[in-house]
Structure 1
Amino acid sequence: MDGLIKGFRDVIIGDGGRDGENDSRDERSRSSWAQVVSGDQDDGARPPSHWRKQEPSQQVNVGSRPSSRPQETDYGRYEKDERDERHAYNQNEWNRKEQGEENNDGWESVGRKPRRRPQKVHMDHWQGYKKVPSEQEYGDEVGTGTSIEPSEEELADLSQACNRLWQLDLNRLEPGKDFQLDCGEGKRVHQKEDMAEESLFYSLSEDIFRKPTFSRFCALLDNYNPNAGCKEVVTTEEKQEQSAFIEEISRTAPIKYLHRYLSLKGIVSENYQDFKRMLTKLWFDLYGRGGTSGSSSAFEHVFVGEIKQRGEEEVTGFHNWLQFYLEEAKGRVDYQGYILPRRRGETPDSETQLLTIQFEWNGVRKAVSSTMVGVSPEFELALYTLCFFVGGEDNYVQLGPYSVNIKCYRFGDKIGSVFPIAEC
């Protein structure tokens, strides 16, 4: 039994325990992550895809996907957390230049979908994010009319605090206006068939890439080697990008609320500069995963995603909707349908903001992954940081209309993995 539990631990956070942090890891439950999100629906209970809408005037449509080839790997058995992702990853596919991708006057054409107009992400200003943080320009501080003081009830109840963060996410996108999804049809975790004829994102407002926190977040996504176990090389410019991103989000209501909450509980310093340095260290400091020191970070694992190389290759992490959108637009992600909810009748639609899905990343299947669509980078980082410091492994909270379990795995004093699970 001890060996079984140890095996589960290795799955979640890789082989980093060989770097000496094994003993400080929290005890894990033995429940299957695949079982948590997937119910016992009949195979035929697949709601039809009926969410297509007229394209809004200022939204960019991402095209339809080529059908994927059948998978030969057996995905019938799954272990907890991210063990339920089975695949065979071709590293050469990652490095090849995507067909239809081109640069033009600071714009990157990232779509190669024949039926819809490709998305263009304005990137020429990203170079400025590499400057010394003190020399950069930032967005305005959150207005004084926005209360960031935690109530006594929120200080006593993590769920209420998380819901307050949801309310303070002023940059969150508006479903139907800023984005529309094409969820396709539902499936069980073990099913290999591609149940989605189209891309997940039917449309997305191009204005979101002008939001400072969104733009800075996207600029960080290409700083990482996706292969777990490969030592990361972080340049001075990339470190400046990280610090500038933390500076940008620290001007927003969710992060200010997070600081006030944690400081009132005596967890962090009341000094805001110390708090920002703590956030940078927590999310960007490298640690060992996959048996190699300095090969991973909380930011890379949770938001960007990694390809586990030891043993049977698999995708781990990759829980951010912006990363999913950009990779899908580039043709690197193949959305294959949503995971059927445990309660019948509660199927996602074009305006869903909490979604459990299956997809392939460069031909590698991720059997189950949950993501919050349309939320801001500052909200996600604040939510996960709050649960890391105040919560446990399972954090059952309310986020607006959604009942969510924020699953948080610790790796010593670091974030091993953290992601949402829809409680439905």
Structure 2
Amino acid sequence: MFLLRVTMVAAIVLICVLFSLSSAQESCEGRCGASLDQTLPCQCNGHCITYGDCCDDYQHVCVEATCSGRCNAGLDSSKPCQCNTACVSHGDCCPDYDSLCAGGDAGKETLSSVADQLWNLDVNRVSVTDYDVSYQGQVSSSNTGDSAAGPFFRYVNEAIFSRPTFSRLIPLLDNYNPNIGESESLTSAQWAEINSFLDEVLATSVMQKAYNYLLNEGKTTGTADFRDLLKELWFNLYPRSSSGPIDSSGFEHVVVGEYKNGVSGFHNWVQFYQEEKTNTIDYKGYVSRSNPEIVGAQFTWNGHRKSKGSFFVASSPEFDMAIYSICALMHPNAVCSFTMNGHSIRIQTWDVSHKSGAQIASAYPL
């Protein structure tokens, strides 16, 4: 009997140890930015967003441990670290507190102030009377069923698509091959469509505000430079992997979407609506929703699954491009946090890590 008890205790200890090791492997604690390790069940670097294999705590451990957009914010016990003067005495400052916050931003326009202005200037944002959505069932990101019998968009007044920036956006949506790993190129006619879209976007009050803010922040030197900057961020092609073919761009990934063993990118409501119209998207339900209207949708696109694709609903093309560009340039590879129209907003952007210069790998609201 004594021997049996010893054996049972040893077995329990072994199980606990193995469980502890398994749990550690599924966590990003101490692994943020680590290279791909195929022996582990999940990853903890920027590429895991693209490939959909991040550990469950990646966002909290690796992304939220920053003062980006949080300088002088009050205590937030849900965060892994803090960004106000009290954190110095308490020893719980985020690693980038000194570089982002300690110098102070006296006299500078805050990101929240800029976001509010962009929101108020967005005259092309679609009125609530011109669209209707149906959220239906809420699902978890690991859901594999279908909690939505119908489409997400029940109605959109398509007259809005005659507005200049919308009418220049839609022709761009079929210019790309969504298959990651297959070579991409743009014809002279397609570049003409891109330039026409940029002309219209740059003429809006929304993008003029973004330009003035980024000019004051030293992120651009003038109007011609700003146009080139937007083209580089969004439209110049690049390889999605360091050893792969030229197969992607910021616009293709964020607005149009891509796929390889699942959907990657796809964070634009106009594209979602257009694809629902042709029955290439099957909306499965919402993972999250917030205001101003942002949905984290679960869906399949051409048979490829997206566990959560988040996007602003009913925003204009110039608003999306402006706010994502600002976040990508001011807080690259980080969460960009601010308030807008009385609501807390967080936007994640990623840069193309294997290339010099700024090009958007992804951008989306959390």
Question: TM-score under structure 1 normalisation?
Answer: 0.61
Distance 2:269 2:60 in 1: 20
CA RMSD of aligned residues (A): 2.6
Distance 2:364 2:175 in 1: 21
| Structure 1 residue 398: Cα displacement | 1.8
Shift of 1:155: 3.7
Q: Which amino acid aligns with 2:233?
A: L
Where 1:199 maps in the other structure, the secondary structure is coil
In the alignment, is the contact (CA less than 8 A) between 1:354 and 1:402 conserved in 2?
Answer: no
Counterparts of 1:10 and 1:354 in 2: how far apart (Å)? 24
Amino acid at match of 1:284: F
Q: Tell me: CA distance 1:265–1:386, structure 2 relative to 1, closer, same or farther (3 Å).
A: same
Q: Distance in 2 between matches of 1:287 and 1:240?
A: 19
Richer in helix (by share) = 2
Q: CA deviation at 1:31?
A: 3.5
The count of aligned residue pairs is 279
**1:92-128 Cα shifts (integer Å, max 9, x gaps):** xxxxxxxxxxxxxxxxxxxxxxxxxxxxxxxxxxxxx
Aligned-pair distance for 1:10? 3.0
SS, match of residue 395 in structure 1: strand
Distance 1:319 1:281 in 2: 19
Structure 1 pair 29/407, CA: closer, same or farther in 2 (3 Å)?
Answer: farther
Does the alignment pair 1:12 with 2:49? yes
Q: 2:262 aligns with which of 288, 311, 314?
A: 314
Which residue of 2 is the match for residue 276 of structure 1? Answer: 227
Q: Is it true that 1:185 corresponds to 2:137 in the alignment? A: yes
Correspondence for 1:249 among 186, 191, 201: 201
Asked whether the 8 Å contact 1:358–1:366 carries over to 2, the reply is yes
**What is aligned with 1:398?**
339
C-alpha offsets along residues 304-341 of structure 1, whole Å, 9 cap, x if unaligned?
11112xxxx12110000000000011000000111156
Matched, 1:326 2:274: yes
Unaligned runs of 5+ in 2: 1-29, 37-44, 63-104
In structure 2, what is the Cα distance between the partners aligned to 1:31 and 1:220?
36
Alpha-carbon distance in structure 2 between the residues aligned to 1:154 and 1:300: 37
**Are 1:362 and 2:314 counterparts?**
no
Q: What's the counterpart of residue 181 of structure 2?
A: 229
Structure 2 match to 1:292: 244
RCO comparison, higher one (Cα < 8 Å, 6+): 1
Give the conservation status (yes or no) of the 8 Å contact 1:155–1:161: no
Q: Take 1:154 and 1:212, find their aligned partners in 2: how far apart are those partners?
A: 36
1:335 partner letter = Y
TM-superposed deviation, 1:207: 0.8
What aligned pairs does 1:49-68 form with structure 2 within 5 A after superposition?
none
- Using the aligned pairs only, state the percent identity: 34
Please tell me whether residue 409 in structure 1 is matched to residue 360 in structure 2: no
Higher Rg = 2
* Alpha-carbon distance, 1:281 to partner: 2.1
Matched residues in 1 for 2:156 and 2:233: separation? 31
Give how far 1:259 is off.
Answer: 1.0
1:164 and 2:117 are equivalent in the alignment: yes
Residue 172 to residue 4, structure 1, CA distance change in 2 (3 Å): closer
Counterparts of 1:29 and 1:153 in 2: how far apart (Å)? 38
Q: Secondary structure at the match of 1:318?
A: coil
